[in-house]
Chain A
């Protein structure tokens, strides 16, 4: 046998052995991790994935799993691309004793694609702070869970804030608000709310798209320079955010009149812009920092054993904390499901029930070590969002500083919009809405 053939044979044998090792998942609860650690969006994808996997490791190391059932997880690189995200989902959905527990794609594009697939596979789709806004209506979107906020909530919170600092909604009349957005399903999400409010509040709305990945924005910011809006909302991701902040500085647009969504308010979004980012505002879904109880636990049980995913100094960054929270919600969905179905690996369908009946009271949040990081959350058949609130944070050149109180989204305005949009979606897909009064 030639040396080349020998290598090929050895590789084939190794691949076969690797295949036979798969049943190790047999009695474990499997959680797929769709992440992006390379490519254009890696600076934002990495801290999120680190937080997510560190929390799963904490549960494993400290508690030995959930109620004695060990967790298994596997990362799959999506590169933030919808096709690769769907491919990852297909590859991981059937792994483990009971298949994937729940999937968190960290991409609105992948969410749109998976929304069509998860009902058939019976796997819940957790889109914490992103995804389709109308999917908070659980009676139609049975499998989607945009927990803690949607883009419509975010747009409403931003409008409430600028109305408040301007002296009331009446004072917005005649003002100009521009939205600089990632030209993708994600970036387009807030437009219906911003357009609708423009009609009733009387401000002029201008939407300016930026094509993927957002490295070339000169024409967008020359438009901003010419139209001089009173406020600019930024709906970017990855390199687009820091480029927008730099371009704003280049055209002398005041950074303190800029407001990013919570996906445009992390450290990688401002640090590349240096001093040019000072004064830039963004929504905060939760505070940054590593001085919460859960971080002490992560340091003790994961990092002190040399098993951490990130560098120690990166623990507590905005997106790290978001990954941590997303993983905690997934684990608590599984735990809630076990309370009904017993301590064994849960199916996706059982985890869906667990998520829908999730009730994280302040006492439970504190016991989990998330006090001050996550508000009390209670989901239901009708409401898959649970709570929608955020505050405004401002970059001072070195760190994010809290600039407002928590602001809750106006559900009396948003809910009818979401229900109308969900109804339209359901009719288009022949989905019979569930009767939430009869759900147990």
Chain B
């Protein structure tokens, strides 16, 4: 077996698994864009907010003597309810007054929501680094030790993230394709006014989609929080999701997953095999955007995005 193959496979698999973690965040963006045509800049802040609510509620419950398992369950219910409440608040205070406004206006509004959630979350839950342990295994596994010297390193937490992302995609695909609400969401995304004219209640739909995106943010926050600890930086993971969206398309759930895999593997391979030997390293951040840009030039709607043709 060639000597380079083991390290190469390790970087490749590590990159693919990192990409799935990006996809978890990208999924939240896709959901809201697909259903409301709004690019939700606040998705990263929602991930942080949900993770902070979860970790702090578990801490408080445990300090009251509640056993760890029950505290985790109640913590999830509390933070899930908080994300639904946030969806109601966003719809009532931001989206409803802006109905039928241009997409760019709604986008600007989500920037405002981002800064509000970032600051408000840290005010009420604190801005320290909190350790989140909900029992997800984090040990390293070494695959194919008999074939490659030292084996191929994989982390259990990354495998859990992959499985979680798979389940989410399956659930969301069923939700969008097989339910009345899912079909209504897609109708609203195509045209607010037309959807309203056939009796689809726009306000309810927006609450539902923001609530679902909030739950996805909670899942992403749980995985990222277990990996890194819950602290402000996980809000910036959203920046990692942007090239994934550009590549996968803003409206495709499978696109978010495939985009994540390509970006994750691409940036890690580029860093190890191009960045460190030729550029003193540190290229993976901009390489991901460059990769996305190249795709954009070839296929502007992304890999799986819908091609929109406007007739004039």
Contacts and interface: CB of A to CB of B under 8 A. Distances in A.
Contacts of A272: 129-131, 228-229, 231
Contact of B240 (A183, A216, A239): A216
A223 B285 contact: no
Contact of B231 (A43, A216, A218, A223): A43
A420 interface: no
Contacts of A211: 282, 284-285
Interface string A216-231: 1011101101100000
B282 A183 contact: yes
Contacts of B234: 215
Interface in B270-312: 271-272, 275-276, 280-282, 284-285
A39 B10 contact: no
B140 A251 contact: yes
Interface string A29-59: 0000000011110110010000000000000
B182 interface: no
A252 to B, nearest CB: 6
A222 B119 contact: no
Nearest to B129: A43
Nearest to A274: B131
Nearest to B122: A38
A42 B155 contact: no
A208 B128 contact: no
B262 interface: no
Contacts, number: 108
Contacts of A207: 280-281
A219 B128 contact: no
B223 interface: no
Interface string B168-196: 00000000000000000000000000000
A274 B157 CA distance: 15
A80 B140 CA distance: 33
A250 interface: yes
B237 interface: yes
Contacts of B11: 219, 222
B232 interface: yes
Nearest to B225: A272
Most B CB within 10 A of own CB, among A216, A242, A243: A216
Nearest to A43: B129
Contacts of A242: 129, 228-229
A440 to B, nearest CB: 46
B214 interface: no
Interface in A191-227: 207-211, 213-216, 218-220, 222-223, 225-226
A222 B128 contact: no
B276 A43 contact: no
Contacts of B233: 40, 213-215, 238-239
B166 interface: no
B255 to A, nearest CB: 21
A268 B128 contact: yes
A209 B131 contact: no
SS of B interface (majority): helix
B236 interface: yes
A226 B10 CA distance: 10
Contacts of A43: 127-129, 231
Interface residues of A, number: 36
A114 to B, nearest CB: 24
Contacts of A216: 18, 240, 284
A40 B133 CA distance: 21
A27 interface: no
B55 to A, nearest CB: 11
A229 to B, nearest CB: 13
B284 A219 contact: yes
B231 A252 contact: no
A245 B135 CA distance: 20
B281 A208 contact: yes
A370 B86 CA distance: 49
A271 interface: yes
A196 B10 CA distance: 33
A213 to B, nearest CB: 5
B131 A271 contact: yes
11 contacts: A42-B128, A46-B128, A209-B281, A213-B236, A219-B11, A220-B271, A220-B281, A250-B153, A268-B129, A272-B130, A274-B133
A322 interface: no
A278 interface: no
The 10 tightest CB contacts between A and B, nearest first, are A272-B229, A209-B282, A219-B271, A42-B127, A43-B129, A209-B281, A40-B233, A239-B233, A213-B233, A183-B282
A226 B150 CA distance: 9
B253 to A, nearest CB: 23
A220 B128 CA distance: 25
Interface in B75-100: none
A95 interface: no
Most A CB within 10 A of own CB, among B10, B118, B232: B232
A222 B129 contact: no
Contacts of B119: 38
Contacts of B155: 250
Contacts of B275: 219
A40 B140 contact: no
B127 A37 contact: yes
A246 interface: yes
B14 interface: yes
Most A CB within 10 A of own CB, among B234, B267, B271: B271
Contact of B129 (A223, A225, A239): A239
Contacts of B271: 219-220
A225 B153 contact: yes
A218 B285 contact: no
B236 A215 contact: yes
Contacts of A208: 276, 281
Given A219-B272, A226-B7, 15 more contacts: A38-B118, A38-B119, A38-B122, A40-B236, A42-B122, A42-B232, A208-B276, A209-B280, A216-B18, A219-B14, A225-B150, A225-B153, A251-B153, A272-B129, A272-B131
Nearest to B10: A222
Contacts of B240: 216
A38 B118 CA distance: 9
B56 interface: no
A223 B127 contact: no
A239 B231 CA distance: 8
B268 interface: yes
Contacts of A215: 228, 233-234, 236-237
A40 B231 contact: yes
B155 to A, nearest CB: 5
B243 to A, nearest CB: 13
